[in-house]
Amino acid sequence: MNTSELLPEVDVIEGVYLCTRLDLPELFSAAMAEKKGLRLYRPEDVPDPARIRFALVWAPAEDAFDAYPNVELVQVIAAGVDGVLHNPSLPENAVVTRVHDPEQAATMAGFAVWHVVWHHRKMGTYLKAQQDANWSRYLIKTLKSPSLITVGILGYGLMGKAIAQATAALGFQVLVASRTAGESEAGITRISGDDAVNEVAAQADILINVLPLTPQTRNVLNAKLFAIMPKGAALIQLGRGDHLVEEDLIAALDSGQIGGASLDVFKQEPLPDTHPFWTHPNVVVTPHEASVTTPEVVANALENAINDVAAGRCPTSIVDLKTGY
Ligand code: GLV
């Protein structure tokens, strides 16, 4: 036997995949194979847990990190990190990083504006009419120009900014709710402060949610918020399922207070097949795919973060554990 097979390679940094929901090795092993300085294992294949210095994760089990006392870096495969930050076994001193990818934001922006146009142009009406070969020009008398429609965006991070710019480029009025005050860009009005979400929602004909999930934003999309929105407004929910009180949305849709909703994220995923959202006439359901990122982007993010940590630098994609994003 070649004894070198039994020895750890000193220049290889070892890590572990930790996930309860996806087969991460199947998704990422080809991209990770390109990263010659890194080696990732399934938990059951880890040769020596004490040598594991990083983890690539998505929805890890509550005790997932217990076996790996020397983990220094936890790289989340997505932009949202809510499924990891409150993990009770997360090592206290580990740096948590996430994906911060302009391409992912551009993908999200494309998805968001598609839904903005869907609600502005009442596309569901055309699809139903087509089934009956019904040529009716529904909007000829009522269509408002984009400049008369206010699109509200909750969240002004990488995703919120990309969505705001793409929406403003189509001529809509754009209002964003941002935790921090700062400059507004051309065509985008920025509102900050404790009441920013309400101020934006109160004016939004179409409201897009891309907030991070934190204790402050949990259940932020609720009956009270829907009640202050313009009657018949639309909701585009791209944040996290726990932002939305689902029964409040169904009541608001049924009363007509909310005219339509596009929902990509849910309290329970996959959305149970008996859930009323599937069949609601004014709801568009998609399976948490508003923005996806490629394995190569995740592998690069991980490699950059590991290099930063190894060199004593703060990774650019580090998560602030206080704000939760
Ligand atoms: C997707 O949900 C993400 O957080 O990137």
Which tens digits make up the pLDDT trace of 217-245?
999 999 999 999 999 999 999 999 999 99
Q: What is the dihedral of CA 265, 269, 270, 275, to 10 degrees?
A: -80
The residues facing 261 across adjacent strands are 235, 283
Q: Candidates 214, 217, 291, 292: which one to mutate for ligand 1, based on the most atoms within 8 Å of Cβ?
A: 291
CA–CA gap between residue 119 and residue 205 (Å, rounded): 9
Q: Which tokens hold the place of 146? A: 């984009």
pLDDT, one tens digit per residue, over 73-107 is 999 999 999 989 989 999 999 999 999 999 999 99
Q: Is 79 in the pocket of ligand 1 (CB under 6 A)?
A: yes
- Percent of the residues in the chain that have a pLDDT greater than 70, as a whole number: 97
CA–CA gap between residue 43 and residue 17 (Å, rounded): 7
CA–CA gap between residue 74 and residue 231 (Å, rounded): 44
Contact criterion met (CB below 8 Å) for 250 and 235: no
Instruction: Compute φ and ψ for 152, nearest 5 degrees.
Output: -100, 140
Residue 236 one-letter amino acid: I
pLDDT at 135: 96
CA–CA gap between residue 227 and residue 24 (Å, rounded): 41
Q: Hunting for tokens 């009406």 — which residue is that?
A: 125
Q: Which tokens hold the place of 162? A: 């990309």
Helices (H), ranges, the chain = 24-33, 82-85, 102-120, 123-131, 158-169, 196-203, 223-228, 246-255, 295-310
- Tell me if residue 53 is catalytic: no
Pick the catalytic residue from 115, 179, 190, 240: 240
Q: Is 84 in the pocket of ligand 1 (CB under 6 A)?
A: no
CA–CA gap between residue 78 and residue 98 (Å, rounded): 6
Higher pLDDT, 277 or 86: 277
Q: Which tokens hold the place of 293? A: 């990122």
CA–CA gap between residue 108 and residue 265 (Å, rounded): 13
Distance, C-alpha 124 to centroid of its chain: 25
Q: Quick one: which of 122, 220, 236, 102 has its CA closest to 165? A: 102
pLDDT at 29: 96
Report the separation in Å between the CA atom of 128 and the middle of ligand 1, taken as the mean of its atom positions.
31
- What is the number of the ligand 1 atom nearest to the C-alpha of 265? 2
CA–CA gap between residue 260 and residue 122 (Å, rounded): 9
Report the separation in Å between the CA atom of 69 and the middle of ligand 1, taken as the mean of its atom positions.
27
Report the separation in Å between the CA atom of 302 and the middle of ligand 1, taken as the mean of its atom positions.
16
Contact partners, residue 8, CB within 8 Å, separation at least 6: 14, 47, 48, 51
Q: Is 151 in the pocket of ligand 1 (CB under 6 A)?
A: no
pLDDT of 7 higher than 50: no
Contact criterion met (CB below 8 Å) for 159 and 79: yes
Contact criterion met (CB below 8 Å) for 260 and 280: no
Q: Kindly tell me the burial class for residue 250, based on how many C-beta atoms sit within 10 Å of its own C-beta (0-12, 13-18, 19 or more).
A: middle
pLDDT at 10: 57
Mean per-residue pLDDT over the chain, rounded: 94
Q: Is 80 in the pocket of ligand 1 (CB under 6 A)?
A: yes
For the segment 155-178, the average pLDDT, to the nearest whole number, is 97
Whose alpha carbon is nearest atom 1 of ligand 1? 78
pLDDT tier, 4 (very low <50, low <70, confident <90, very high otherwise): very low
CA–CA gap between residue 38 and residue 304 (Å, rounded): 11
Q: Is 290 in the pocket of ligand 1 (CB under 6 A)?
A: no
Report the separation in Å between the CA atom of 292 and the middle of ligand 1, taken as the mean of its atom positions.
7
Report the separation in Å between the CA atom of 26 and the middle of ligand 1, taken as the mean of its atom positions.
19
pLDDT at 6: 47
Pick the catalytic residue from 218, 275, 280, 288: 288
